[in-house]
A and B are shown apart, each in its own frame.
Chain A
């Protein structure tokens, strides 16, 4: 494609955009506004939801501070609180992280650094990606059959944590694999050339370089697990708990189930409680995200 350039006859050339250049610039300027509108509409909906929730539940949370956090569930809205749900969430998510991180990161390391490049490993890889898309209720059914019934753990915190671990494991594996792949191979070469073994190379160079990416994966996983109600309802978690869970054998509830339960109550009675619990849940997720961002920052090497 030959570009026909107009040569200025004499004197100063005109550098104003005309013809094709003007059209390309117009398109570029238009794209700015289109993309801006897309970004605003997405964030706008989120902002509206947050505003609506805070409007509905903020007063409830502040007015009865801190009794909303320290009270158990109750038949009476003004006495209801999220104590058992917060503790249940902490237990379940804590154990889920404990199970998922070593298994997920270990799997990713093996797949990326140790596994032979054969058909079987390819199939495994592909299926891990598929598993990330399986609906949570399916994991709930699996948890009910395997952990609750077959292993006889019942509808306990441990069953909940194991079920959620299975559910988020693919996310951790996929993001960790991605993070490990991002570590430049020149670093591996340097390590091997100095007589390091594969494990020393992974431990000293690959993992530290992959920590920021792995943290992102862990946060994605925790965010998904912490908002999960369906799978836990499936395994038989309570909606109404009026005791503190103190061991992994205890029955439990979690924030999303508590919220779900409150929104199901007839009339407007428990709506502010549901909204207030959502605010608590969002605060927890936000805190976790900030922690992860901090860890990422600490490990970012440059």
Chain B
């Protein structure tokens, strides 16, 4: 299902000669890599959403994906833990290697991939269950054998939520404020002991103070986890990320990687004019 290589292959070959921005996009961080995306293309039915994206995501760093709406950054993020498999009519070409293993490979089970590569969504989506059960769910379905109480406390502490909820673990997760809900979702993701955490615009539904807390948390978590974040907010990318990738959809090529560089560099000395236009606020 994942990869059919029929007529579209030819199309790709033709386009790849003039792959836009490939010089700037060819940057590769000189540190250990957690996820390596290679020539990734994706179609929703007949509509193409990603075109030949290649980038290496370094371990224990925060990597930001930025770009205007519809540029494919969320799509790219959802490819990294095979969440796109759940959408009917999706077709993917290329490889995504997680510590060297192609997660779209033959013997790979998407459930195992998602256990190791966790995800936090744009709108906080706690289960309509207690705070405790929210955090314990991932561990339970994955057959965790240790002490659940300890695990729940550890994850809530790590997500900087413990002090606010420790007396109320039976309360519904939906009774929390938006920012707390999002930290609950982060705690929930941590309970699986993942290695990578994907965050899809995790602050876009939050107020500035809650946003700040999540950003602080991201910096902290980066010491132990590899974090990939999609964001609309360029200041946020500049504040929290170590590396930034800029994606763009134009008339000819949907979802292309224009430029990928250390965050500092991309924001101060963009190599591509389109990157510069975007970060200067000339479009998007």
B127 touches A190 (CB 8 A): yes
B-side contacts of A192, CB under 8 Å: 83, 86, 114
A-side contacts of B178, CB under 8 Å: none
Q: Is B101's CB within 8 Å of the partner chain A?
A: no
Nearest-neighbour CB distance to chain B for A205, whole angstroms, equals 6
Nearest-neighbour CB distance to chain A for B88, whole angstroms, equals 5
Nearest-neighbour CB distance to chain A for B133, whole angstroms, equals 9
Nearest-neighbour CB distance to chain A for B148, whole angstroms, equals 15
Q: How far is the CA of A197 from the CA of B137 in the complex (A)?
A: 12
Within 8 A of B (CB), among A170-227: 184, 186-197, 200, 204-205, 208-209
Q: Is A63's CB within 8 Å of the partner chain B?
A: no
Q: How far is the CA of A196 from the CA of B129 in the complex (A)?
A: 16
B-side contacts of A302, CB under 8 Å: 128, 172, 174
Q: How far is the CA of A300 from the CA of B111 in the complex (A)?
A: 29
Interface of B is mostly: mixed
A194 touches B83 (CB 8 A): no
B127 touches A187 (CB 8 A): yes
Nearest-neighbour CB distance to chain B for A81, whole angstroms, equals 48
B83 touches A190 (CB 8 A): no
For chain A, give the interface size range. Answer: 20 to 34
Q: Is B192's CB within 8 Å of the partner chain A?
A: yes
B192 touches A195 (CB 8 A): yes
Interface centre among A184, A186, A193 (most CB of B within 10 A): A193
Q: How far is the CA of A184 from the CA of B141 in the complex (A)?
A: 20
Contact of B114 among A186, A193, A208 (CB under 8 A): A193
Nearest-neighbour CB distance to chain A for B125, whole angstroms, equals 4
Q: State whether A301 and B137 are in contact (beta carbons under 8 Å apart), knowing that A195-B114, A195-B142 are contacts in the complex.
A: no
Q: State whether A195 and B138 are in contact (beta carbons under 8 Å apart), knowing that A186-B121, A189-B83, A189-B121 are contacts in the complex.
A: yes
Contact of A195 among B123, B126, B141 (CB under 8 A): B141
A-side contacts of B131, CB under 8 Å: none
Q: How far is the CA of A194 from the CA of B88 in the complex (A)?
A: 20
Nearest chain-A residue to B86 (Cβ)?
Answer: A192
B-side contacts of A301, CB under 8 Å: 128-129, 172, 174
A190 touches B125 (CB 8 A): yes
Interface of A is mostly: helix
B-side contacts of A196, CB under 8 Å: 111, 137-138, 141
Interface centre among B81, B118, B125, B189 (most CB of A within 10 A): B125
A193 touches B141 (CB 8 A): no
Q: Is A16's CB within 8 Å of the partner chain B?
A: no
Q: Is A298's CB within 8 Å of the partner chain B?
A: no
Nearest-neighbour CB distance to chain B for A232, whole angstroms, equals 41
B-side contacts of A194, CB under 8 Å: 114-115, 118, 137-138, 141-142, 188-189, 191-192
B125 touches A187 (CB 8 A): yes
Q: Is B112's CB within 8 Å of the partner chain A?
A: yes
Interface centre among A186, A190, A209 (most CB of B within 10 A): A190
A-side contacts of B128, CB under 8 Å: 187, 208-209, 301-302
B-side contacts of A190, CB under 8 Å: 121, 125-127, 185, 188
A-side contacts of B81, CB under 8 Å: 193
B-side contacts of A75, CB under 8 Å: none
Q: How far is the CA of A184 from the CA of B126 in the complex (A)?
A: 12
Q: Is B257's CB within 8 Å of the partner chain A?
A: no
Q: How far is the CA of A196 from the CA of B83 in the complex (A)?
A: 12
A-side contacts of B137, CB under 8 Å: 191, 194, 196, 204
Nearest chain-A residue to B122 (Cβ)?
Answer: A186
A-side contacts of B129, CB under 8 Å: 301
Interface string of B128-166 (1 = CB under 8 A from A): 110000000110011000000000000000000000000
- 23 A-B interface contacts by CB (under 8 A): A117-B89, A189-B83, A189-B86, A190-B127, A190-B185, A193-B81, A193-B83, A193-B118, A193-B119, A193-B121, A194-B138, A194-B142, A195-B112, A195-B115, A195-B141, A196-B111, A196-B138, A196-B141, A197-B141, A205-B127, A209-B128, A302-B172, A302-B174
Known A190-B121, A194-B192, A195-B111; further 8 A-B contacts with Cβ < 8 A: A188-B86, A189-B119, A193-B81, A193-B118, A195-B192, A196-B138, A197-B141, A204-B137
Binding site for A on B (CB under 8 A): 81, 83, 86, 88-89, 111-112, 114-115, 118-119, 121, 123, 125-129, 137-138, 141-142, 172, 174, 185, 188-189, 191-192
Binding site for B on A (CB under 8 A): 117, 184, 186-197, 200, 204-205, 208-209, 301-302
